[in-house]
Amino acid sequence: MQLGFLEMWNQMGTVAKAVSFILIFLSVLSIYFFIERMMTFNRAKNKSKQAAPALADLLKAGKLNEALTLSNKKDYKGSHLARITAAGIHEFLAARESGLSLEEQIESASRGCNRAASLFTQDLKRGFSVLATIATSSPFIGLFGTIFGIITAFRGMQLTGSGGIGAVAGGISEALITTAFGILVAVIALWCYNLLNSKIDVYQAEMENTSSEIVDYFMRKR
C-alpha cells in the first residue's frame, strides 16, 4: 500500500485537514510578522544612520532648537535615535522654560529619554505576543488533529475487524502529519520570535547609549 504524502492527504479526515489548514495559516502569519518586523527594524536602523551625523553636528554647535526640529522631521519618524534625542531635548527645554534648576533640567531630560525608549521598544515588539501564542499553541493544535487520527485508526480496526496495517494506516498517517506539522509551525514561530527578540536587545542598548550621551551632553553644558 502506498503511503506517499498525497495518499496520506487524501486519506485524512475533515477534521485533520481543517487542522492542517489552520496550521498553514499560522505558519504564514508567523512569516508575515517576521518580515514586517524586520522591515521596521531595518527602517529604524537606516533612518538613525541618516539622522545621527546631522544631530551630532547640531548638538556640538549648541543648536538645541534646530536639533529638536530635525529629530521631529517626518523623514526621521522611524528612527529610534532621533526619537530619543527629540524627547531628551524637548524635556530639557521645557524644564528650562519652567525655571527649574540645571540638575532638574537634566533629570527631566533623562526621564524623557527613558519614556521615549520604553515607548519605542513597545512599538518594536508589536506582534510579538502573536508569535509567542503561535509557538506555544501550534503543537496542541497538531495534537488535536492527532487525536482524531487515532480515532480514525481505531474506527478502521472496528470496521474491518482487523488490526492489520491496512486498517489503521490512514488514521496513523493522519495523526503523524498533524503532529509533525504542529511541531514545525511552532519551531518556525519560536525561531522568528527569538531572532526578533535578540534584535530588540541591540536596539535597546543603542537607545540606552543615546540617552546616556544626551544626559552627558547637558551635564557638560553647565
- Cβ contacts of residue 129 below 8 Å, gap of 6+? none
Q: Is the pLDDT of residue 130 over 70?
A: yes
Query: Does residue 27 have a pLDDT over 60?
Result: yes
pLDDT of residue 76: 82
- Range picked from 154-168, 181-195, 204-218 for highest mean pLDDT: 181-195
CA dihedral angle for residue 6, residue 7, residue 9, residue 10, rounded to 10 degrees: 110
- pLDDT, residue 1, reads 44
Which band of pLDDT confidence, cut at 50, 70 and 90, is reported for residue 173? low
Domain ranges, residue 140: 5-220
Q: Which residue has the cell 501550534?
A: 138
Q: Which three cell numbers stand for residue 171?
A: 488514521
Among 164, 199, 181, 171, residue whose Cα is nearest residue 80: 199
Count of domains forming the chain: 1
Helix, coil or strand: residue 100 = coil
